[in-house]
Chain A
Amino acid sequence: MMLARVADSLYWMGRYVERAEHLSRLSSVMLNATLDRADTAVQAAQMARAALGDPEPLSTAQPIDFARALVMDRESEGSVVVSLSHARENARQVRDQITSEIWERLNILYLRVTSPFAERAFDANAPAFLAEAIADLHLFKGATDATMSHGEGWRFMLIGVHTERAQLMGRLLKVCFHEAHSAIEDDHTTLVSLLRMACALEPYLRAYTADLNAASILQFLLFDEEFPRSIRFCTSRIENHLDHLTRGRVVGKVDPARIAGRLNARLAYADIEEIEASGAGRLLDAVEAGCSAINAAVNETFVSYPLELRLPA
């Protein structure tokens, strides 16, 4: 049993932390790409940008500005700093529910990226700045795993993390694999960038060796059951957590566990050949819609349910 508002805050804390990590990684990969060739950098930036829903083309000079805005812009809802502020705001809401270790991890990172010295540090060495931020977020997740009871609150937080992750990965894949035979297929550097953005380069190599090809990458990022950033992995975690949470409880018309189960099954039984033939667009649309539906169903079932339905008779 926990407060509905608290569950909601933990869920959103998970989402924002995941978002901050993803945005940091996209920026980091983009900047790394500039070390290679200008056109790959632009292509990587394009990919990141499209994955964030902004299809405007970029010129060669822009990746660093784009990255800075993506990370440091306090006015923009979709920046790392703002995501971290939201995550911390949610953590503050549930300060009594999370351990000091978890709180302090997030608080340190927040204080660092919002300090008056942050801009300077970013400009001096953006890749190091981002690497630090990502490492801190991993420490945060580690502290969560190691110090927080793996009970209800922890599950809500992880549902947030995995829902957000599935959505963000879905968007990234959609940019690259919406249609069959997309343009990135033969560009080795772009494929590497994509794997890096998904934090998947090393695990992919272990699974498929250095044979980089679009079909294997898509299969890995969509369906791998062990890689924590594959969409299949996310949906199966969501289903598992929701299973636990709804067990023995009254759920309304919309059962979030059922929605998650359906989405997971769809991924489990997806037809690879069909995807290879006609692109992953439809499946990724289903992932996006499924995640939205889970988000809404979690809210309706656990958070903003109508009071009168739950009052004692």
Chain B
Amino acid sequence: MRFDIRHVTQYTYDEPVRESVMELWMQPRGGIGQRLIDFDLEIDPHAQAFSYPDVWGNTVRHFDVPHPHQKLTITASSTVETAIISQPPESLSVEEWDRLKSDAARAESWDFLHPHGYARHTEALGAFCETHGVGALTALDPMTAARRLNAIIFSALDYESGVTAADSPIDEALSAGRGVCQDFAHIMIAICRGWGLPARYVSGYVATAADHADRSRPDASHAWVEVLLPSLRWVGFDPTNNVLAGERHIVVAIGRDYADVPPSRGVFKGDADSHLSVGVSVRPATAASDTSFPRLGAPSIAARRRRASGTGQMDQHHQQQ
């Protein structure tokens, strides 16, 4: 399927700020099952965008705005074609676990086998696993185990935005019993890695459709998980929607956790609070491409203020829902 995606990010500051420097993980990846046809970045106030490939092969765009501004709008437009190359099987053999133990497999996926950042074991996660019989899943083959885990997270945790923030550890979602895709992905990653199953964080978009029982919001960026099964390579699981990642999932970036691949993050100089609004639209591409702007979500306070002798540097990033 071919999609047109517009992702609008708007920072507003209650006082003028200077020297904003930002990095964006917004350019969809090319690769197996996905082709990037077009990508365009508009920055207002105008800035020259540069790019580099990060260590996981994502294309990072970055730019700076030196002069004073009170508003920064980033519009990322892309056209992506996705295809299902092959439908993964329902299950694999239990021997798949042994293949995961090979030195080569462990070496290749070292970063995705070890706890990192938000994706780490906690006491609350242990309790969650106990309650939902997660431990027993390792007796199954890894494909089935991951499918079950996907379903457990889907049913055990409600989807609700506003409960957790972009920098919430998984314990907040676990104790509240609710959260957003970012939390669900981190929880699933932490459990998989605990099993010795390489798992990575995927930032992207999902084209929600009325005929699917999707929980994720159609107007936000999305996040899910990819798990390495040696005989199938990386397989995507979307615990937010209890599905495998498929034609409707558009991969933007992969990393160890959210902090590796936030859609946008940056710092600026100035003594101001910043407010962030994000709007995303994912539409099947039609002959007459729809160029209407996605609606911006209600402003959410995205950054905490830090003061340092009159000029603070602020960290700003946004949550994936």
A–B interface present (Cβ within 8 A)? yes
A residues sitting closer than 8 Å to B (CB atoms) are 306-308, 311
Binary interface encoding of chain B residues 8-23 relative to chain A, with 1 for a CB under 8 A from any of its CBs, else 0: 0000000000110000
- Residues of chain A within 8 A (CB-CB) of B233 are none
CA of A106 to CA of B308, assembled, Å: 29
CA of A309 to CA of B66, assembled, Å: 9
CA of A306 to CA of B270, assembled, Å: 13
- 11 A-B pairs within 8 Å (CB atoms) are namely A306-B18, A306-B67, A306-B68, A307-B18, A307-B19, A307-B66, A307-B67, A308-B18, A308-B66, A308-B67, A311-B66
- Residues of chain B within 8 A (CB-CB) of A311 are 66
Overall SS of chain B's interface: loop
Which has the most chain A C-beta neighbours within 10 Å: B19, B66, B68? Answer: B66
Q: Which of B59-114 contact A (CB under 8 A)?
A: 66-68
For residue A313, give the distance in angstroms from its CB to the closest CB of chain B: 12
- Residues of chain A within 8 A (CB-CB) of B66 are 307-308, 311
- Residues of chain A within 8 A (CB-CB) of B18 are 306-308
B residues sitting closer than 8 Å to A (CB atoms) are 18-19, 66-68
- Residues of chain A within 8 A (CB-CB) of B67 are 306-308
CA of A144 to CA of B19, assembled, Å: 37
For residue B24, give the distance in angstroms from its CB to the closest CB of chain A: 21
CA of A311 to CA of B66, assembled, Å: 9
CA of A311 to CA of B47, assembled, Å: 13
- Residues of chain A within 8 A (CB-CB) of B68 are 306
Q: Select from chain B the residue with minimum beta-carbon distance to A310.
A: B66
Q: Select from chain A the residue with minimum beta-carbon distance to B18.
A: A307
Add 9 more A-B contacts to A306-B18, A311-B66 (CB < 8 A): A306-B67, A306-B68, A307-B18, A307-B19, A307-B66, A307-B67, A308-B18, A308-B66, A308-B67
- Residues of chain B within 8 A (CB-CB) of A308 are 18, 66-67
CA of A308 to CA of B67, assembled, Å: 5
For residue A97, give the distance in angstroms from its CB to the closest CB of chain B: 22
Q: Select from chain A the residue with minimum beta-carbon distance to B65.
A: A308
Q: Select from chain A the residue with minimum beta-carbon distance to B19.
A: A307
- Residues of chain B within 8 A (CB-CB) of A307 are 18-19, 66-67
CA of A53 to CA of B66, assembled, Å: 41
